[in-house]
A and B are shown apart, each in its own frame.
Chain A
Amino acid sequence: MNIKLIIKIAKSLLLARFKQTLVAAVGVTFSISMFIALLSFMAGLNDLLDGLLLNRTPHVRLYNEIQPNSNQPIYSQFDTNNTHNFIHSIKSTVSRQEIYNSEAIMRTLKKDQRIMGIAPKIITPVFFNDGAIDITGVVNGIEIQSEGKLFHFNEYVTAGEPADIERLSNSIILGKGLADQLLANLGDVVQVATINGERFPLRVVGFFQSGMQELDKTQSYASIATVQKLKEKPNNYITDIQIKLKDLAKAPQIAKDYARLFEIDAVDIQTANASFETGSFVRTLISYAVGVVLLIVAGFGIYNILNMMIYEKMNTIAILKATGFAGKDVQKIFLVIAMSIGFFGGLAGLILGFGLSAIIDQIPFETPSLPSVNTYPVSYNPTYYVIGAVFSLITTFLAGWFPSRKASKVDPVVIIRGK
């Protein structure tokens, strides 16, 4: 009952100064819509940049690191609890890079509920012979289906058919930069030499463009079988197992589990790309900071207008108090005014922000390094809309709080006698 009356009075006061109210609401609308548009755009860009890396990076990678044996022979004679052993010139062992018992490991991984999928891989350094010069490069032996599904491989193949590397024997997809250096066209044959000196002719069936030039100058892709042939290894030979998880955040823990379980080296994406996360965090931080500043400015606008309104409406406040409205009721009236400016301004801001994002989404954005992107990236994450709505209410509440407290303290005697 009382609330209804307070809202009714607030509404009348608002409508009496409709223009001022409108200006205040437009301030909120503007800042909220900018907040939404900015964050959506920033997040879209972040997702795109993250995608550049995340799409092609396994969340956990299992492999054998080349490193010195952690169990040196002397430790069996003198354990490190009682003695301190000095060993000079330790060398890394010539351990096999192959993952032992890879088929059993993959079977186990496929049963793990936390895992979205796995893709085996062989990484081997090679030389591409082009007349008199040798270009160092890397051939990745991949399973095209799982690679395409988990790491969006197909999106980065700009020419040719990715599946051809499995359909046609002795075929290869070259990085665009590498192909340019080799002057190789689709259908050409390139000479590949392994470290052992074996030479192989491989047919080019596609080009690959990742968006990172340095990568494109060295990387190439072939089927696992082709690479096994290249390395003269049996058909259970793989050097890497790439794991994609359902929840990225669990990667460090899962990597640790598998390292212990399979006695293998496991690296998670957070460790492997620490600097990358910092970058996207800072970008997000900046866009939030700008958004919040916009809202605070709008808050000051509301504060000013309410202050002015209270000076104008001193008589009204005095008469309300004289006829039995308590200070708290008066405060509520002005808070309702502030909050309704925040609510309606914020609502319009959310809609306008969505519209702005949609417009940005339509602006063409062509870049040779990102073949799969045609317009500016925009994220429509509802979280930003929720944050925008909550923030508009909080800011307007705070902006209304101080003037409304002032209004509640107006002494009716001073006003009524003063006239």
Chain B
Amino acid sequence: MSNITLEAKNITKYFHDPTTVKVLSDINFSVNKGDFVSITGKSGCGKSTLLYILSTMDTDYEGELWIDGESTVKRKEAELAKVRNEKIGFVFQFHYLLDEFSVLENVMMPGLKLGKYSPEEVENHAMEKLKMLGIENLALKPSNQISGGEKQRVAIARALINNPQIIMGDEPTGNLDQKNSQIVFEVFKQLAEEFKQTLLIVTHDQSFANRTHRIINMEDGKIIV
């Protein structure tokens, strides 16, 4: 088994509306197991677009994407959903918790979907993750009654529930104040260093990027460093 978790080969993407624009051209890079990588660049350079392609949610591109040694090109929507469920954890800029559920249920949701463990086991795992992030006291609260920083930590717990190959973040600190950004960064750092969790974070926060292990800098749809 190779050490590569995620590999992008010659990824090119166009936007067709209103006119055809090349947003990504010939992106090649790979992420190794245990890497803590950040993608930076100016607004509009295509870094978020790239992340959505890497996350398998966007399938309208040219090139190849390999996740955990498997190609994701030309796979069915349901299969890609399974890949996302099992191998990728997500943290978005806006927490995106399901308001109808409690914090614990939000964290459990992808685990229940995976169906690998019984609901009781999933609940135990979810509590472990919440404990690890120091928010186990929030478990039974409705998810719309906690603060923004807490929400983002809940989202991280949810991303971790299925022990994914890689965690992807889209500006995870973009909407947080200094203090909460610091907390979230510490969580990521802890995950990378203590648990050897692979992380791929898109950010335009240079100070955040500087503290990661590897920086991929993008400009005009190309990787420059």
Contact = CB atoms under 8 A, between A and B. Distances in A.
Contacts of B52: 413, 416-417
Contact of B115 (A1, A318, A416): A1
B35 interface: no
B113 A12 contact: no
A328 B110 CA distance: 16
A387 B216 CA distance: 64
A329 B81 CA distance: 10
Interface stretch (A246-254, A287-295, A319-327): A319-327
Interface in A15-49: 15-16
B57 A322 contact: yes
A416 B77 contact: no
Given A1-B115, A16-B99, A319-B96, A325 B81 contact: yes
Interface in B76-111: 77-78, 81-82, 84-86, 90, 92-94, 96-101, 109-110
Contacts of B96: 315, 318-319, 322, 416
A188 B194 CA distance: 116
A419 B100 contact: no
A324 B112 contact: no
Given A327-B78, A416-B96, A322 B90 contact: yes
A280 interface: no
Nearest to A2: B115
A360 interface: no
Interface residues of B, number: 30
Contacts of A416: 52, 92, 96, 170
Contacts of A326: 77-78, 81-82
Contact of A323 (B77, B113, B170): B113
Contact of A324 (B48, B82, B100, B170): B82
A328 B80 CA distance: 12
A301 interface: no
A345 B196 CA distance: 53
Contacts of A324: 81-82, 84-86, 110, 113-114
A236 to B, nearest CB: 84
A318 B112 CA distance: 17
Contacts of B92: 322, 416
A211 interface: no
A320 B94 CA distance: 15
Contact of A419 (B94, B113, B114): B94
A325 B84 CA distance: 9
A67 to B, nearest CB: 76
A163 B137 CA distance: 89
Given A5-B112, A328-B78, A413-B52, A323 B57 contact: no
Given A324-B85, A324-B113, A326-B81, A12 B101 contact: yes
A409 B171 CA distance: 26
A294 to B, nearest CB: 32
Contact of B100 (A16, A327, A329): A16
A139 to B, nearest CB: 80
Contact of A417 (B48, B81, B101, B113): B48
B9 to A, nearest CB: 21
A412 interface: yes
A13 interface: yes
A413 B100 contact: no
Contacts of B110: 323-324
Contacts of B58: 413
Interface in B52-80: 52, 55, 57-58, 77-78
A384 to B, nearest CB: 38
A413 B98 contact: no
Nearest to A323: B110
Interface in A177-199: none
A316 B98 CA distance: 6
B87 to A, nearest CB: 9
B7 to A, nearest CB: 21
A319 B81 CA distance: 12
A323 B94 contact: no
A319 B155 CA distance: 11
Given A2-B115, A5-B112, A321 B81 contact: yes
A323 B158 contact: yes
Interface of B: 48, 52, 55, 57-58, 77-78, 81-82, 84-86, 90, 92-94, 96-101, 109-110, 112-115, 158, 170
15 contacts: A1-B112, A2-B113, A5-B109, A13-B100, A16-B100, A318-B96, A319-B96, A319-B97, A321-B57, A322-B90, A323-B158, A324-B110, A326-B78, A416-B92, A416-B170
Interface of A: 1-2, 5, 12-13, 15-16, 315-316, 318-329, 411-413, 416-417, 419
Given A5-B113, A323-B85, 11 more contacts: A5-B109, A12-B98, A15-B100, A316-B98, A319-B97, A322-B55, A323-B90, A323-B113, A324-B81, A324-B84, A417-B52
Q: 10 smallest A-B Cβ distances: which pairs?
A: A324-B85, A326-B81, A326-B78, A12-B100, A323-B110, A324-B84, A16-B100, A319-B96, A5-B112, A1-B115
